[in-house]
Structure 1
Amino acid sequence: MYLLLIVGLVLFANGTNGLLGDVKEALDNVLNFVNQRMDQFGFDGYFGIVLAQTQLQMILELQIKFDDIKDIKYFIQKCQSILNKAKFFLPLNPPYMILFETKLLDSHKWFRSLIKNVTFGEITNLGQYMEWSPERILKNKRAIYKGVETNFCLREILELTTGDTCYVSTICKDMMTNTSRMDTGYLLTHRLLYIQIKRLEGCIVPEDPVPIKEYTRLFCSYILKEAKTNEYLKFPYHDIFMEQVLLCGMEGFAEFLNKPWLETIIKWQNPQGCFESVSKEFQNIQKRSSHLVDFGCSDHSTGLGAAVLALFLKCLFLQ
């Protein structure tokens, strides 16, 4: 059962019908792009396809028109076709990538785990970082804390889960669940993803006194501040913004699911259907570090684009 608070209805009060067609077309284009270039994509890109498929599966639980049902089933089948072929292109090394692929590339598992309600007003509006510059956003690209990458902690929780209890090392406890520290960039979004994976795995950490919902509210309050700063600076970094919208939007925080942001993301899509990680205006000050595919696009950004479009499609059907 879905809940959309009345306050949230203003997000798409006008132009919903036209947007619905635009989002469907954009989603079809990005899925076609991926399907035609399977050998160019890695785990990051396919993870976005899994999350897109999850959002599409959620739409089928809603009361929608027959023609829309056909469209959604078509998109789901297209995602599944991509994922069926992905196993032939995903790397076997390093060994932990097999663990990531086995445990995280499963839309049915994510479907059972993700929040289905969309609500407004549960997170705190902290404004924006007034002193930030585009360079400040663009250089903040490493998900690392005290010399340890966040992937170490994601791997740890996937490898060492026994029953409903997950092992969390001291460094990962400090990196991922220390609520007294306010991080930014990919370190912050990966902290949110870590919490989402804990929920996905059914992890209970006995010594952790903070409920998962409180983590997501806190992290998405910080993330909203950064997303608004990115917007204020004319969106220099597309990739981090789409990751922020996706992860917090999946938590049902309607502040991330507004019409202007959707229209902006659709405009970022290349004519070929893919997404670049950095705005063309700022590419001269940022060397893109993500895996590149055709037309200067990023596999990570393109996967995010697919997932974000599917997320907004679900939001439009909730109106």
Structure 2
Amino acid sequence: MGAAGRQLAALLAAFAAVSGSRAEVIDDVLTSVSRGASFLEQQHEHINLDGVVGFFLLQAELKEAVRTWPHSDPVSWAQRTAAVALLKRLDQSLEKAVAALQQIDPKYYREFEPLLSSSFWLLPQGWSSTDPSLVYPTTSASECYDEQLSDKCLTLLLGTWKMNGTPCIVTKPCRDTMTRSGCPHYSLSHQLLYFMIGRMRGCTNLLKGDTRASRVNMTERSYEKVFCSNMMKTNDDIIRDGLTKQMVDIFTENILICGLAGFSDFYKADWLQHILDQQDEEVGCFGRDKSIVSQMIGEELLEQLQPHRRVKRREKVLPGAA
């Protein structure tokens, strides 16, 4: 998932959960979202599918914020008005970004088209907390997911594995991969997303056929809690060791996805500030070295943008992007 959309969605989701409704916190978040919207407006033709999904998550969060915005005073009303204007900007830019995706890689677009709508992303209706006792005793030193298998598993859930395909299909390789324990970083977030996307698609019984005795009492929500408890441990370790540019991506992704899964303890005031601090004030992107944010798109990016070429989630680099 692209850094700009993900980080903006994460900070927007976080701000209401910390510091009450302090006007200055909301102003900071709205300013950041506005910069991110400008980045999307300028780069909509070059943002990959994961990045565009991040902006749709932002759109979903912003729509809910507007819907529930308190009208208690003129400052609050002015902030809501600014949020409504931001939504209109996002609507226009996302329409262009989706059109570009469809042209650049029509197969990949078709397979993940259901995710390209804010209405797909259901926001939490209730809240819970992670459980430190669920943290794995040991974690793999390397990622334990295969991107091609992960994509295939998601298309089987979405029903986009073929034209008019049956949705909610769970194969044994998919179930085994998505319930494997001891996975780190992006493997964890992919496992969590698998269960979340299945739930949002309306799939039930994702664990049907799992006869392992150790998993007899595990539900989809049980796995979400295991994954987010381990993602919380990851984020705590990242902060303890010092947030580096290399770890900003997974740090923010964990906040966004576990927050979307309904784990409120990912919404911390200092974590919100860490995200805000990563944004380049001029370009609107996150995590890029300020000395090179003004670089033009290089030959490598242009090559990646050729039709039918699959661009992996962490390979596509934009001017000013993470």
Q: Which TM-score bucket, shorter chain as reference? A: 0.7 to 0.9
259, 265, 271: which one aligns with 1:261:
271
The aligned length equals 270
CA distance in 1, matches of 2:205, 2:136: 33
Distance 1:248 1:44, change over 3 A: same
The residue aligned with 1:273 is 284
Cα distance change, pair 205–126 in 1 and its aligned pair in 2 (3 A): closer
Query: Is there any run of 5+ residues in structure 2 with no aligned partner, and where?
Result: 1-13, 72-76, 210-215, 292-312
Seq. identity, %: 24
- Tell which deviates more after alignment, 209-218 or 88-97: 88-97
Higher relative contact order (CA 8 A, sep 6+): 1
- Give the whole-Å Cα distance in 2 for the aligned partners of 1:29 and 1:9: 17
Contact 2:35/2:284 (8 A) holds in 1:
yes
**C-alpha distance 244-98 of structure 1, shift in aligned 2 (>3 A):** same
Which of 100, 123, 128 is the equivalent residue of 2:130? 123
Partners of 2:269 and 2:197 lie apart in 1 by: 28
CA distance in 1, matches of 2:117, 2:15: 31
Q: Which structure 2 residues correspond to residues 89-238 of structure 1 after superposition, within 5 A?
A: 89-92=100-103, 96-110=107-121, 113-119=122-128, 122-125=129-132, 144-145=145-146, 149-158=149-158, 159=160, 166-178=168-180, 181-205=181-205, 207=208, 210-236=218-244, 237-238=247-248
1:12–1:259 contact (8 Å) kept in structure 2: yes
Q: Deviations over 1:51-83 (max 9, x none)?
A: 000011111332413323212211221211111
Bigger CA drift: 261-270 or 147-156?
Answer: 147-156
**Length-normalised TM-score, structure 1:** 0.73
Shift of 1:243: 0.6
Code of the residue aligned with 2:264 in structure 1: it is A
Deviations, residues 162-215 of structure 1 (Å, cap 9, x unaligned): 99961111110101134xx12111011011111111011101236167433222
Q: Which ranges in structure 1 are unaligned for 5 or more consecutive residues?
A: 1-7, 281-287, 299-319
| Alignment CA distance shift 1:28-1:13 (3 Å) | closer
State the TM-score, normalized to the length of structure 2: 0.73
Aligned equivalents of 1:289 and 1:277: distance in 2? 14
Q: Is the 8 A contact 1:160 1:167 kept in 2?
A: no
Deviation string for 1:199-245 (max 9, x for gaps)? 11101236167433222211100110111111112122111111100
Q: Could you report, residue by residue, the CA deviation over 1:91-145 in whole angstroms, capped at 9, with x for unpaired residues? A: 55655412344210010122xx3313344xx31135999999xxx9xx85x5625
**Counterpart of 1:107 in structure 2: which amino acid?**
S
Instruction: Write the letter of the residue equivalent to 2:124.
Output: I
